[in-house]
Amino acid sequence: MIGKLSTRTVGMAGLCLAVLGALAVGVTRVIGGSEGASGGDAGLGSVALSVEAVEAFLAGTEESGFVRPSGTWQLALPEDHGGHSLSRAETWVLAAHLEDAEGQPASVQFALSRFGLAPETPDAAAVSWELRSLYHAAVAVWQGGGAEMHAEERFSRGAGAAGQDGEAGEVWLDDWTLSYATEEGARDLTFTARLDSVRVALELTMAKPPEQTADADQPFRGFVVPRLTVSGRIETEDGVTPVSGTAWLDRAWGELPLPGGPLGYDRLQVQLDDGSDLSLVRTRRRDGRGVVTVDGLLFDPAGEAETLSEDVLSMAQHNADATRPALVGFPRVWRVSGPELDLQVEALGPDREVSFVVGGWTVPVRVEGERAGVPVTGLGTLQMTGYETP
């Protein structure tokens, strides 16, 4: 069964916020011949991108030839797991919330993006050095036994080093691969990645049906899988750690929102032990003025979705921890309240920003509170942007 939201999209701006920003920086990196892995110390540092800078980048690309989604549509799996080469941009985002055998939390985050610089043509494959698409990917792995976040990002021009294969059921950049079963009705995916000092292998099964997250009048298409069951392993220099838990998968393609500008976003994904799943996006002005809005999407244990708005939903900073000065601008503790919902969210990850080319902080979180009067706990992911410089 495939669900569909008839209300406005929840969280797509938060999902796509860093896509074009990272790719805009990556164009100069790839054209300059330095494509490849970039951890936190590859010399790019934290780059402040304005809307004007991204628009200047877009002005140098071809717009004609790409297809702008329009009209009614129906999600089709497994095909929509794969690439949409006629769309100008697309993203795959996976957030896995895990525990080891001792109950220690762990987190694996993967984001892959493609931006089309020029449409594919029948003879494009014959000119493999011609830059027609740019790919960006990031992987972050964290284990509760230590404070270190293993994180890398990479850029590629494609040409075999990155891409998608619908027949094989794979999307990839280098040796970071998200695979999906290609049989009709299949629910299984796998994710594998090798970083400098970490290897990850996860097997995922959709535990809830996918949900469409774009209306007919929007210039993009997408879906979420709010819960997948996960088992796998994280391998470091200290050994192999079996892990299990749940994950959330986001997918989008079409004309995606531009990053930058006056707005900042806080995006929270939570998976609770009562079987429910929650995604929230808090939108605010970077300068602190104006009205803060909160939109949410709650999936009950059966997979039924309910859209929540700022009229009934609140997501606010709670008891800021003054003992953690390394990230003064990034709140670590939040309070979420809504209809039959009262949750405290606390960041678990290290007290430093991973210096990818687009600023922000993405961190695993632990959740405690009540839902429908029943105590709940859970794990999740919090992405925060727009705190750096107004």
Q: The CATH number of the domain where 232 resides is what?
A: 2.40.370.10
Give a yes or no: residue 390 inside a domain: no
Give a yes or no: residue 132 inside a domain: yes
- Three-state secondary-structure class, residue 55: helix
240 or 69, which is more confident? 240
36: pLDDT strictly greater than 70: no
Confidence at residue 95, expressed as pLDDT on a 0 to 100 scale: 96
Confidence at residue 381, expressed as pLDDT on a 0 to 100 scale: 92
Kindly report the pTM of this predicted structure: 0.84
Give a yes or no: residue 219 inside a domain: yes
Q: Cα–Cα distances in Å, from 16 out to 75, 130, 231, 339, 385?
A: 19, 26, 27, 28, 12
Task: Please name which of 360, 366, 328 lies closest in space to residue 347, comparing C-alpha atoms.
Answer: 366
Residue 296: domain span: 3-384
Give a yes or no: residue 389 inside a domain: no
Q: What percent of the chain has pLDDT over 90?
A: 36
Give a yes or no: residue 51 inside a domain: yes
362: pLDDT strictly greater than 60: yes
Give a yes or no: residue 268 inside a domain: yes
Peptide bond into 331 cis (omega under 30): no
303: pLDDT strictly greater than 50: yes
Give a yes or no: residue 156 inside a domain: yes
Q: Which of 45-49, 104-108, 302-306, 332-336 has the lowest mean pLDDT?
A: 45-49
Confidence at residue 261, expressed as pLDDT on a 0 to 100 scale: 60
Give a yes or no: residue 116 inside a domain: yes
Q: Which of 104-118, 143-157, 321-335, 355-369 has the lowest mean pLDDT?
A: 321-335
Beta bridge partners of 200: 193, 234
End-to-end CA distance of the chain: 44
Domain count along the chain: 1
Q: Is residue 351 exposed (0-12), middle (13-18) or buried (19+ Cβ within 10 Å)?
A: middle
CB 106 within 8 A of CB 143: yes
42: pLDDT strictly greater than 70: no
Instruction: Determine the average pLDDT of the residues in 58-83.
Output: 78
As a whole number of angstroms, the distance between CA 36 and CA 339 comes to 46
- Three-state secondary-structure class, residue 16: helix
